[in-house]
């Protein structure tokens, strides 16, 4: 059986996210949705952006994580060729916020992003099934 990825969150809340929406195009957006006490909650949102130029290659990532008064957010980016830039940018965003994963996801692909999101939400204290919704 495959080991589930785990995440460790910093003790203090911190916000280092950048909303690039006014300068860049959103190329992917994912939200982790859970059911708690009969209500849907969205504790984690991750957005990926790219420049509007046709020659843009850098992928930017920002995420926002919240449960009650606990709040973490971060930003990162990746560029170059020959690897999965979205997962690398997400890893950079997690690093900027001090969130540690049991295994790195940089350049590991879309499934690794989803697994990391699930691990982060579990570290925040949510239990049970959740779902990553791409928008």
Q: Which residues touch 12 (CB under 8 Å, ≥6 apart)?
A: none
- The count of structural domains within the chain is 1
Residue 33 lies in a domain: yes
Residue 34 β-bridge partners: 41, 130
- Residue 127 to residues 41, 78, 88, 122, Cα–Cα distance (Å): 12, 32, 27, 6
Residue carrying structure tokens 């990532």 = 61
Q: In this predicted structure, what is the pLDDT of residue 2? A: 67
Residue 134, domain member (yes or no): no
If one counts every other C-beta atom within 10 angstroms of the C-beta of residue 71, the result is 14
Query: Phi and psi for 85 in degrees, rounded to 5?
Result: -70, -30
Residue 45 counted as domain residue: yes
pLDDT over 70 percentage in the chain = 96
**DSSP reduced 3-state for 66:** strand
131: in domain: no
30 within some domain: yes
Asked if the structure places residue 1 within a domain, the reply is: no
In a domain, 132, yes or no: no
Per the CB < 8 A criterion, the answer to whether 85 and 45 are in contact is: no
User: What CA–CA distance (Å, rounded) separates 65 from 67?
Assistant: 7
Q: Has residue 95 been placed in a domain?
A: yes
**pLDDT, tens digit, 9 for 90 and up, residues 3-54:** 889 999 998 888 888 888 889 999 999 999 998 888 888 999 999 999 888 8
Its pTM stands at 0.91
- Domain hosting 70: range is 7-124
């Amino acid at each position: 059986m495959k080991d589930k990825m785990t995440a460790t969150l910093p003790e203090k809340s911190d916000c280092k996210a950048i909303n690039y929406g006014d300068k860049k195009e959103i190329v992917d957006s994912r939200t982790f949705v859970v059911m708690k006490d009969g209500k849907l909650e969205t504790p984690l949102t991750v957005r990926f952006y790219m420049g509007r130029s046709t020659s843009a290659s850098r992928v930017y990532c920002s995420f926002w994580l919240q449960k009650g008064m606990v709040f973490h957010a971060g930003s990162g980016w990746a560029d170059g060729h020959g690897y999965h830039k979205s997962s690398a940018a997400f890893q950079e965003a997690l690093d900027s916020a001090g969130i540690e994963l049991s295994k790195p996801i940089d350049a590991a692909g879309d499934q690794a992003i989803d697994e990391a999101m699930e691990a982060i939400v579990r570290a925040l204290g949510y239990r049970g099934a959740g779902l990553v919704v791409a928008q």
